[in-house]
Amino acid sequence: MCGRVNVSSGPLTLLFMDMVGQPYPESDRYNVAPTQSLPVLRSSEAGAIESATMRWWLTPFWSKEVSTRYSMFNAKAETLDTSRAFKEPFMRRRCLVPVAGFYEWVKEAERKLPYYIRPHADDGLLLAGIWDRWCSDEETVESFAVVTTAVHDRLAFVHRRQPAMLTRAEGRRWIDAMEDPAQLRRDLLGPRLPVALTVVPVSTHVNNARNGGARCIEPVGKVIEIESQE
């Protein structure tokens, strides 16, 4: 699962400069939740990588309205090619969701304890995504979902699922229109850890999506380092 992310501009400026040759286009936002908008990366019609700001909650092009009636902020890798909502975006409209890191919660008794998960190098992380464009007479809404997979064993203490994480080179493959979607799924959407991760126990301050600021990512316990694993 992936339901909250940090998009601090420091790490993401490094990533954006590498991918599109420009700084991250927004200011720091430490606690972004579904239905909010984020810059994502996709292939332009000319084949270059471009940035576009989209709503985090996929609205299929055929939907009657923009709503949150169904949970569409994540897309399971296992159903990308069979889901009515996800199949065409997976085949034709793949994107990258750049984040500084993401949050997951561990249930202990009656409490939900948050962890902040970021790349060890702290230079931005690419999550696999799919996007779509919904239009009415009054507006056009571009939106996306983060692709999730079964969790790697080394990260299973946090959650049973994880976002599909990609290296820079894998990210370029993911959004390349010439790539075979079935091959991408086999190569990139298993329970992988393609980059080394730092897992940070953080305050329950982050549990409320209205709370922001650097306090969201401050350690409150022992930090865990996880090496990259295929």
Instruction: State the DSSP code for 217.
Output: G
pTM of the model: 0.96
Query: What pLDDT, on a 0 to 100 scale, did the predictor assign at position 46?
Result: 86
- List pLDDT tens digits, range 8-22: 999 999 899 999 999
Tokens of 130: 């799919």
Residue 90 pLDDT > 80 = yes
Average pLDDT over residues 80-105: 97
- The parent domain of residue 65 ranges over 5-102+125-192
Within-domain flag for 118: no
Residue 1 pLDDT > 80 = no
Query: What pLDDT, on a 0 to 100 scale, did the predictor assign at position 58?
Result: 96
Query: What pLDDT, on a 0 to 100 scale, did the predictor assign at position 221?
Result: 95
- List pLDDT tens digits, range 33-54: 999 999 999 999 888 999 999 9
Q: Which helix (H) or strand (E) holds 144?
A: strand 140-150
The percentage of residues in the chain with a pLDDT greater than 70, rounded to a whole number, is 100
Q: Do 145 and 129 form a contact (C-beta atoms < 8 A)?
A: yes
Q: How far apart are CA 92 and CA 95, in angstroms?
A: 10
Report angle CA 186, 188, 194 to the nearest 5 degrees: 140
Within-domain flag for 161: yes
Residue 67 pLDDT > 90 = no
Average pLDDT over residues 120-135: 96
Number of domains observed in the structure of the chain: 1
- List pLDDT tens digits, range 178-223: 999 999 999 999 999 999 999 999 999 999 999 999 999 999 999 9
Whole-number average pLDDT of the chain: 95
Query: What pLDDT, on a 0 to 100 scale, did the predictor assign at position 71?
Result: 84
Residue 114 pLDDT > 90 = yes
Residue with tokens 């569409």: 72
Q: How far apart are CA 58 and CA 86, in angstroms?
A: 9
C-alpha distances out from residue 90 to 5, 104, 184, Å: 22, 25, 10
Average pLDDT over residues 82-108: 96
- List pLDDT tens digits, range 131-158: 999 999 899 999 999 999 999 999 999 9
Within-domain flag for 197: no
Query: What pLDDT, on a 0 to 100 scale, did the predictor assign at position 137?
Result: 85
Report CA torsion sign: 148, 225, 111, 219.
negative
Query: What pLDDT, on a 0 to 100 scale, did the predictor assign at position 12?
Result: 95
CB atoms within 10 A of CB 133: 14
Within-domain flag for 50: yes
In the three-class reduction of DSSP (H, G, I as helix; E, B as strand; rest coil), residue 149 is classed as strand
CATH code of the domain in which 131 resides: 3.90.1680.10
Within-domain flag for 78: yes
Within-domain flag for 96: yes
Within-domain flag for 115: no
Query: What pLDDT, on a 0 to 100 scale, did the predictor assign at position 112?
Result: 87
Query: What pLDDT, on a 0 to 100 scale, did the predictor assign at position 209?
Result: 93
Residue 89 pLDDT > 80 = yes
47 contact partners, CB below 8 Å, separation of at least 6? 177
The stretches of the chain forming alpha helices (DSSP H) are 9-20, 87-92, 168-174, 181-188
Within-domain flag for 207: no
User: Which residue, among 88, 97, 118, has the nearest Cα to 53 in the 3D structure?
Assistant: 97
The percentage of residues in the chain with a pLDDT greater than 90, rounded to a whole number, is 89
